[in-house]
Structure 1
Amino acid sequence: MRKIFRNVAESYLGRMLQQADIAINGERPWDVTVCDPRFFETVFAGGSLALGESYMRGWWECQALNQFFFRLLQQGLDRSCCRKIPELFAKARALLLNRQSRRRAFQIGERHYDAGNDLFELMLDDHMTYSCGYWRNAETLDQAQEAKLDLICRKLNLQPGMRLLDIGCGWGSLVLYAARHYGVEAVGLTVSEEQAQFARKRCEGLPVDIRLQDYRDLDGTFDAIASVGMFEHVGYKNYRTFMDVAERSLRPGGLFLLHTIGSNKSVHTCDPWFDKYIFPNGMLPSIRQIGRAIESRFIMEDWQNLGVDYEKTVLSWYNNFEKNWERLGQKYGEPFYRMWRYYLLSIAGGFRARYIQVWQIVLAPQGNAAGYQSVRCPHCLD
């Protein structure tokens, strides 16, 4: 009976992958090489969670995972092969529970961002910026990330003496850059102990306050607010609360810039493999969900899609990760290597397929009476 089930699973997966021009045991970089026949029945029954876990176990290989996922997602095959029982359970939990409550707020810091500063130092750019770079006039990752930081500062119209809040400050890249180059005072919030310690050390001597704090516990007012790559951890049940906090924390005439990965459709949870191994309790917002959250709170002044820049950013991270694995391998081990490789290259494929987006949204509580000038590149307006 098991052999029959395995044959059925192999036949089904083979036909499904053919739709995306992916062959099983083919010779092209994006083809799948099956190393353990348990791959077929496991993925057939378990969907995307099983696909990722079987890769972590070494049951299948793919020379170019990013191209594999690009083809898979471009054809919409995730909807036919990856939506199994684990996803149904994830949806039920998301509907019944607030998976991003105050009690759970620090889980993402402990399980992802506290993985090790050495890992992120060797993978990211010199600014330690863990979000999409801006490649319009950039040739290197460092240049792309500095251009992105400067773009945010210009969109917020930062001026010397202003007070900036960064909700989800990471390792302090934006607050450090804004304090040095725009003369602002800054407060950065993070739920990662490792990030907080690292950012405080980097910002010594500057008017920057790094707090290990959930956004819901924030007090005080600011001339400008940014949130870069953090909204993905807020959760749809908390979007309006998040916007309430931003609105009450912003002084009259201030601007709020939200930088987030976005979903093409409204969902309530993320992929089960990513939820289990990479971003616990995470989910991507849609345009509709963001619109509902800002309604009656903010006027949307500007909305820019940077999604095409993220594939290049993630591949730069991956290349740094591979280049430095010899230094990292003894500490993190082979299972982590396979997990992290799967994470980075699947994301790269998703952005190349335009399956997911990156948005920078500029919001103002009462709007800009004189009109907002949209900034699209450093040192220019258009």
Structure 2
Amino acid sequence: MASEQQDTMDVPSIGRSRHLLDEILGEADIRINGDRPWDMRLHRAEALDEIVARNSLGLGETYMRGDWDVPALDQFFHRILTADLPRHVKPWRNGWRILRSYLVNLQSRRRAFEVGERHYDLGNEFYQAMLDSRLTYSCGYWREAETLEEAQTAKLDLICRKLGLKPGMRLLDIGCGWGSLVSYAAENYGVECVGVTVSREQSAYIAEHYAELPITVHLRDYRYLDEPFDRIASVGMFEHVGRKNHRTFMQVAKRCLKKDGLLLLHTIGKNQRRSTTDPWIDKYIFPNGDLPSAGQIGDAADNLLTCEDLHNFGSDYDNTLMAWHHNFEQNWQRFADRYGQRFYRMWRYYLLSCAGAFRARHIQLWQWMFSDRLPGGIQRVS
């Protein structure tokens, strides 16, 4: 069974000639079979050809098979993305993926529950071991926090303050997860909450743990929503909506917002409009995911809702992911027999590659505040 410590062991030198990947990785000061924490330790020389031929999929799948290791994967990916090594990927390689994203609705109602079944329904015990006490599976707010628990509590309170929650209000949480926001808002701000999720495990967890609170949860696709709310929040769900449905999401939000209502949209975002989801992430972690660009979000809200505020704290996701990875490593022995070695390497690759991506500012974390043209705007909170 693998462990994080095994990646730091000396790796026997593999006899091989210089490869194209030596040159490419060298631009990011990464050496194959080097001895620094961010260097690649190669176990199977043939993996280099597969990485060059299959790019992101080849890199991730060869790692999952154990063909190579890096003691500090987060540093490895930070260097790769800071040096913009993905520019070596030929555009035609992703031509079909780009075309498919425009032609096919990968986040249709029929597909809506797939990500819940494949990712969020892995088991509540697993996520309890990795996340904070409320199972908050989104970026924490580390401005004054020192621990994951403090950062997630600060993020939940920041959302409640931005929304101006008051006793007696009704709050809708689109993509409510394990109920972190609705439970916090109900307990601390005296609001009635409705949550929507596509995960059966999450729905069952909320029903079991928060039965005494004024919380109702629907196992339902968001497109079926049609009832009035004072406030709406969506935290870490818009990444699953897809560009063909961004406008529909905003139309649903407008339909459900009462007069003078507010929408807070908390989402990971990408820097480029015309790009697609990383193929490895799409295949193994978040099927049918599609990170929005700022322009795409603006287009979706155009002439429907007014953007009152935009807050970027994407660098905080680095700290959050590293905290999740620490918890994952500390508790892995409890799950090793259940999930196996391949899952261990897949999950470690997922957490640390994403930490490196946020550290490089390759992707962002935004909180958008929208209103239905609220007279006088809103009071900004940080």
Normalized against structure 1, the TM-score is what? 0.94
- What residue is the counterpart of 2:183 in the other structure? 176
Is residue 330 of structure 2 the alignment partner of residue 318 of structure 1?
Answer: no
Is residue 62 of structure 2 the alignment partner of residue 54 of structure 1?
Answer: yes
- What residue is the counterpart of 1:3 in the other structure? none
CA distance in 2, matches of 1:79, 1:347: 18
CA distance in 2, matches of 1:253, 1:130: 29
Q: Secondary structure at the match of 1:105?
A: coil
CA distance in 1, matches of 2:89, 2:64: 19
Matched-pair contact (CA < 8 Å) for 1:236–1:268: no
1:84 CA drift (Å) = 6.8
Is residue 288 of structure 2 the alignment partner of residue 277 of structure 1?
Answer: no
Q: Secondary structure at the match of 1:282?
A: coil
Which ranges in structure 2 are unaligned for 5 or more consecutive residues?
1-14
Which letter maps to 2:180?
A: S
Aligned pairs, how many? 368
Matched-pair contact (CA < 8 Å) for 1:48–1:82: no
Q: List aligned pairs for 1:187-226, cutoff 5 A.
A: 187-226=194-233
Which ranges in structure 1 are unaligned for 5 or more consecutive residues?
1-5, 377-382
Which letter maps to 1:125?
A: D
Is residue 307 of structure 2 the alignment partner of residue 307 of structure 1?
Answer: no
Matched-pair contact (CA < 8 Å) for 1:65–1:342: yes
CA distance in 2, matches of 1:118, 1:93: 36
Which letter maps to 2:48?
A: F
Change (3 A) 1:182 1:131: same
CA distance in 1, matches of 2:275, 2:172: 28
Q: 2:141 aligns with which of 104, 122, 134?
A: 134
- What residue is the counterpart of 2:342 in the other structure? 335
Q: 1:77 aligns with which of 69, 72, 85?
A: 85
CA distance in 1, matches of 2:91, 2:334: 37
Q: List aligned pairs for 1:290-301, cutoff 5 A.
A: 290-301=297-308
1:151-178 superposed Cα distances (whole Å, 9 cap, x missing partner)? 0000000000000000000000000000
CA distance in 1, matches of 2:80, 2:89: 10
- What residue is the counterpart of 2:360 in the other structure? 353
Is residue 371 of structure 2 the alignment partner of residue 364 of structure 1?
Answer: yes
1:165-213 superposed Cα distances (whole Å, 9 cap, x missing partner)? 0000000000000000000000000001111101111210111001100
Question: Which moves more between the two structures, 260-269 or 125-134?
Answer: 260-269
Q: Secondary structure at the match of 2:288?
A: coil
Which letter maps to 1:364?
A: S
Matched-pair contact (CA < 8 Å) for 2:16–2:45: no
Q: List aligned pairs for 1:148-163, cutoff 5 A.
A: 148-163=155-170
1:291-317 superposed Cα distances (whole Å, 9 cap, x missing partner)? 100110111111100101110000000
Is residue 310 of structure 2 the alignment partner of residue 288 of structure 1?
Answer: no
Q: Secondary structure at the match of 2:144?
A: coil
- What residue is the counterpart of 2:71 in the other structure? 63
CA distance in 1, matches of 2:272, 2:331: 36
Matched-pair contact (CA < 8 Å) for 1:267–1:284: no
1:273 CA drift (Å) = 0.3
- What residue is the counterpart of 2:248 in the other structure? 241
- What residue is the counterpart of 1:380 in the other structure? none
Is residue 99 of structure 2 the alignment partner of residue 88 of structure 1?
Answer: no
1:263-319 superposed Cα distances (whole Å, 9 cap, x missing partner)? 011135300000000000001100110110011011111110010111000000000
1:133-164 superposed Cα distances (whole Å, 9 cap, x missing partner)? 00111111000000000000000000000000
Which letter maps to 2:381?
A: V
Q: Secondary structure at the match of 1:71?
A: helix
- What residue is the counterpart of 1:38 in the other structure? 46
Matched-pair contact (CA < 8 Å) for 1:269–1:281: no
CA distance in 1, matches of 2:28, 2:182: 43
Q: Secondary structure at the match of 2:87?
A: helix
1:41 CA drift (Å) = 1.0
Change (3 A) 1:177 1:329: same
CA distance in 2, matches of 1:350, 1:312: 12
Which letter maps to 1:272?
A: P
Is residue 26 of structure 2 the alignment partner of residue 18 of structure 1?
Answer: yes
1:95 CA drift (Å) = 2.2
Matched-pair contact (CA < 8 Å) for 1:260–1:359: yes
Which letter maps to 2:319?
A: K
What fraction of aligned residue pairs are identical, expressed as a percent? 56
1:116 CA drift (Å) = 1.3
Which letter maps to 1:54?
A: T
Which letter maps to 2:355?
A: A
Q: 1:119 aligns with which of 93, 104, 126?
A: 126
CA distance in 2, matches of 1:84, 1:266: 17
RMSD over aligned Cα atoms: 1.4
Which letter maps to 2:75?
A: Q
Matched-pair contact (CA < 8 Å) for 2:116–2:199: yes
Q: Secondary structure at the match of 1:165?
A: strand
CA distance in 1, matches of 2:163, 2:144: 20
Normalized against structure 2, the TM-score is what? 0.94
1:82 CA drift (Å) = 7.8
